[in-house]
Structure 1
């Protein structure tokens, strides 16, 4: 297989891998801001509607992305052990899996979205916008998942720069599409929320075509189609061992965000608009922790594949430290510019009046959220996903949701109650992840360690 490319992940290290990923994520997290801008040109109600149901879209995206990253973690461990043939067969298997999940996810969002919007206490205008958006945007989620699977291939082979360009393609196409449908450029009739959704679908398709072309034509990677089909069951088993529990945590978190939006909507449209604008603004801060988390995930997976556990531990601690400083400084800038940031979307004085303290509470939660993202990525990359996922679900539904309801509704804190509950939620989950890493159970969950134990067990049975 000498004609196949070789991974350059460990040669590049954290900065070599994360620098292009940082630009990549900067573009990615600019997209919700630009979408919110175009939606606010339609109306504050349109922006609030999409913001209220966007966690459902994020849940679909997350399910597909976590599956892709679980597959890439196993492939990275195989590459760390210099087993490229098995690594490429693993890639082929998880691409197949994501294709099936993508179609199911799209259908679930497009058809089931109206029930979610109807369940929330939205005003009639806001609900109408939400139902229209969800009826289309599922296909964007499906294509996003397919693109994510190909982006992980580029990460595994140490070529994340192409993902950055892919996101620029998405960003440019999205801006152009939204401008056409919202402002009626080139003689196209002006459209509303439906036009914004269709622009997103078209933009992600352009980005996927670009990424697909780079993997197969520029990188020259040949995936073993027949082996992927023939050995699908055995190849996908270690992927599902990570993906199944790992997907529960982010999907549960996005369902938690839906519940928070439900609680805020019960306070009133004003509180919902403030929460949506503030949340989407602070999403941009995630670019640093997500980029470092992705780079750390690939590096640690290859270190674990080589049984270099001390190096993996040092890498994780260094990544967390850098991520906290980076996100903290960016979040502090957002607090200082809270009026200007909200002013991009609206000139409603009632919304602007909430800005400062909502932004302060979001800033205080940022370090804990950063720990959750980076350490969650590190633990998943080693295969230690189940405990974290189950503990996260328990914290969210037994502690965070009841706390949010009590603070927001029972005590009447309104939007500040939701933000305070979110701070408590992030802090508790971050503490659990840090404790779990220090227990070092993750050393026992790598695919090589599991296979060695299984081989030993078989030998004992055969004796």
Structure 2
């Protein structure tokens, strides 16, 4: 499989399809929230807490996809097409085995996991149903992540975007049928949303697999699916495990913070879900820029072009900070109408609007992490972000969230103070790491 000529690609050419794809993934989640909000605020809270747990699991699946994305890009930059293809197929096989085991655990122990979250009793039934259905089939999402990462590393970012569009259409149609019950369709609420989510993902995976085979001209080394090469597996784990470790630490710390929020009551949980759904539209710019930059830097590192890689990161960071700050301001100024889309509860709207004001301070700090960490990963410097991340997320974010939010009684505002301190501390440290150029010695591939 020959990649798109990334030497001729600009950051914009790589990033805009990624941006649309991520936007559509977010819209899929927001479609669930928005459509369920017409059904019940309790249902929104139940799905929100369940997704907090599932987001941790998705990160666990992501370690193979992350390793594949970086190694494929570096090998393509070094013109080692055969190794790139072998790594791609091996990563799909590894993630299938791992994700199937995790999916079984989620299905069998969903109630026990939710009880650990100290979920209010009135939310337990719906959260359990959602966790059983979506969690039990999470291996499909793992495969989607892996195949999509491979296609993006080859430069086929538009392919994954088009598939995501189709998945969103299927998901929204399914939600409409099961939530509102037209044409005599049974109203299933949260259960119906879960079925719709999994159906759209399954169809999306089938189409992505077809595209991967077509793009490869049926020349992928499928023997690598069951016959692993030790060096490929070792390299995948060396990059993938630390890369996912930083995200796993983040999502696990978010679970603990959600536990704190649960102590504040159902209204606080619902407010957090609505606000963070809106915030996702702010940070998607930085996510897309970070992922597009990672692909470019991976190819540059593989080709040995260190100077271009360094400059690309700094330029992307500046773009991301400007866009995320301006977007956060616009979102705050529109906070009333935006929150009113989800709820008519004035207390939720008022508190949510203030949290979106505080978010104007939060988002530039988050831009540092979303861009620079992806740049460090692309070079193979993956352990430092994990080390700093664990210290900051737990020592700052979780600790501050408890101290300001629970101990001092500031509620969700206190939680947001913890978020801000964590993002800015990590961001500044990541930028210092990039400027030091320690990462030059970390690359896995040499041309």
TM-score by length of 1: 0.93
Specify the alignment match of 2:329 in structure 1: 332
Moved over 3 A (4+): 227-231
**Quick check: 1:374 aligned with 2:371?**
yes
- Displacement of 1:175 in angstroms is 0.2
1:302-317 alignment, distance < 5 Å: 302-317=299-314
Specify the alignment match of 2:358 in structure 1: 361
**Quick check: 1:183 aligned with 2:180?**
yes
- Displacement of 1:398 in angstroms is 2.2
Q: How far apart are the structure 2 equivalents of 1:111 and 1:431?
A: 42
Q: How far apart are the structure 2 equivalents of 1:113 and 1:297?
A: 35
- Contact 2:361-2:420 within 8 A present in 1 as well: yes
Specify the alignment match of 2:445 in structure 1: 448
- Contact 1:56-1:109 within 8 A present in 2 as well: no
Specify the alignment match of 1:123 in structure 2: 120
Specify the alignment match of 1:285 in structure 2: 282
Specify the alignment match of 1:456 in structure 2: none
- Displacement of 1:107 in angstroms is 2.0
Partner SS state of residue 448, structure 1 = coil
- Displacement of 1:185 in angstroms is 2.5
- Contact 2:163-2:204 within 8 A present in 1 as well: yes
Specify the alignment match of 1:244 in structure 2: 241
- Contact 1:264-1:272 within 8 A present in 2 as well: yes
- Contact 2:2-2:81 within 8 A present in 1 as well: no
The alignment's C-alpha RMSD in Å is 1.6
1:41-440 alignment, distance < 5 Å: 41-218=38-215, 220=217, 222-227=219-224, 229-440=226-437
Deviations for 1:313-370, whole angstroms, at most 9, x for unmatched residues?
Answer: 1111111111122222222221111111111111112211212211111221011111
Q: How far apart are the structure 1 equivalents of 2:58 and 2:118?
A: 25
Specify the alignment match of 1:35 in structure 2: 32
- Contact 1:25-1:288 within 8 A present in 2 as well: no
Q: How far apart are the structure 2 equivalents of 1:77 and 1:281?
A: 35
- Contact 2:75-2:81 within 8 A present in 1 as well: yes
- Displacement of 1:448 in angstroms is 2.5
Q: How far apart are the structure 1 equivalents of 2:215 and 2:87?
A: 21
Q: How far apart are the structure 1 equivalents of 2:228 and 2:258?
A: 43
Q: Which moved more, 1:371-380 or 1:391-400?
A: 391-400
Gaps of 5+ in 2: none
- Contact 2:11-2:296 within 8 A present in 1 as well: yes
- Contact 1:140-1:200 within 8 A present in 2 as well: no
Aligned length: 447
Partner SS state of residue 413, structure 1 = coil
Gaps of 5+ in 1: 453-463
- Displacement of 1:221 in angstroms is 5.1
Q: Which moved more, 1:134-143 or 1:20-29?
A: 134-143
Partner SS state of residue 353, structure 1 = helix
Q: How far apart are the structure 1 equivalents of 2:225 and 2:304?
A: 27
Partner SS state of residue 432, structure 1 = helix
- Displacement of 1:151 in angstroms is 1.1
- Displacement of 1:104 in angstroms is 2.1
Aligned pair in 2 of structure 1 residues 101, 134: CA closer, same or farther (>3 Å)? same
Aligned pair in 2 of structure 1 residues 222, 328: CA closer, same or farther (>3 Å)? farther
- Displacement of 1:216 in angstroms is 1.1
Q: How far apart are the structure 1 equivalents of 2:414 and 2:3?
A: 51
